[in-house]
Structure 1
């Protein structure tokens, strides 16, 4: 797998994903629910990359995706389509920035138990459109480089590491982290539209460059 797609792990957890991780460390049982959340993220990222790699493997049998260095290859055309979708998402988010609110399920996580945290981490990665696009990009990259799922292990590990940052901050800084996290959570809730746009821009830059 090309190291070019490795930074996409940041996009995997940006937005509501990292907000969920921050909310979970402010709950009554932060360690247990956060570990369950991380397990869900790990399972979903692994399954998602496996599925997208399989999709492009099937496509590659009938359509030559071309080499990663060939900008006119089918694989790159797919990436350009993803870029167009991201640009449309940016314009839509900016136009509706005044009315954009974080998903209601984020607030419900304040009372989450480990089972709900696990389910949230799993479904959020598999169903979030931005994460689906990231995993499609990774799957296409794996196929172009004729690499197996094992080559995506670093990408998956970095994704889980980013998801674990709020928990690691809590374990390392304890009381200071407990005081800071609610403020970070509230800021991200207020500026969720801006975070979404930044994530899309990062994704576009990584794909094109």
Structure 2
């Protein structure tokens, strides 16, 4: 995708409750089966969400991507403003922000429930919607086919699969480390949210 760095976008897609869900699933009973269900949900959601944003963006004339006053650029500037506001809100409320309560229910999830979680953490998360809007807008502005989005989708699934890959490759160490990673992310969710906003603002503006 012209002008977009695929891997940072994919990382931004998964930072937050998304990767926390993946970590919880690898510490749950039947970890491999449940994690595969989650990854399938992520893959389907990222594909469908990006396809929708690409289709919507392609329906409008967004102008030349090099034109700072084009519709596409204005959309990106609006997204930057929203992200900056979200980062400031997370900083102000950092003492009271808690991870979503539904994360605590994932330990007992089966593969079907994990699939649903994979779908919802991509399609309903504001940060992921913004990422997919940016990807769709970039594709439309450069007259690229949807095939050009496949590296982004593949990278997103790869990032989501890192906890499972760690479990398969480094089983004993991963089993010991994952709960500590999960607990750290629980207590620093505000910082993670701010990092997501800052990284994505940089990606849009650079």
Q: TM over 0.5, yes or no?
A: yes
Shift of 1:19: 0.4
Partner of 1:164: 161
Partner of 2:32: 31
Partner of 2:4: 4
Partner of 1:48: 49
The CA deviation string for residues 12-66 of structure 1, in whole angstroms up to 9 with x for no partner, is 0001100000000000111000000000000000000010011111122xxxx12
Partner of 1:90: 87
Partner of 1:141: 138
User: 1: CA distance between counterparts of 2:132 and 2:158?
Assistant: 17
1:174 aligns with 2:171: yes
1:197 aligns with 2:194: yes
Helix, strand or coil at the partner of 1:164: helix
Aligned residues: 205
User: 1: CA distance between counterparts of 2:130 and 2:145?
Assistant: 19
Do 1:18 and 1:163's aligned partners in 2 also have CA atoms closer than 8 Å?
yes
User: 2: CA distance between counterparts of 1:3 and 1:38?
Assistant: 27
Normalising by structure 2, we get a TM-score of 0.97
Normalising by structure 1, we get a TM-score of 0.96
Do 1:12 and 1:131's aligned partners in 2 also have CA atoms closer than 8 Å?
yes
Shift of 1:69: 2.0
Shift of 1:5: 4.1
1:20 aligns with 2:30: no
Shift of 1:3: 4.9
Gaps of 5+ in 2: none
The CA deviation string for residues 96-142 of structure 1, in whole angstroms up to 9 with x for no partner, is 11110000111100111000000000011000000000000001000
Do 1:23 and 1:185's aligned partners in 2 also have CA atoms closer than 8 Å?
yes
Helix, strand or coil at the partner of 2:81: helix
1:208 aligns with 2:205: yes
Shift of 1:70: 2.0
RMSD of aligned C-alpha atoms?
0.8
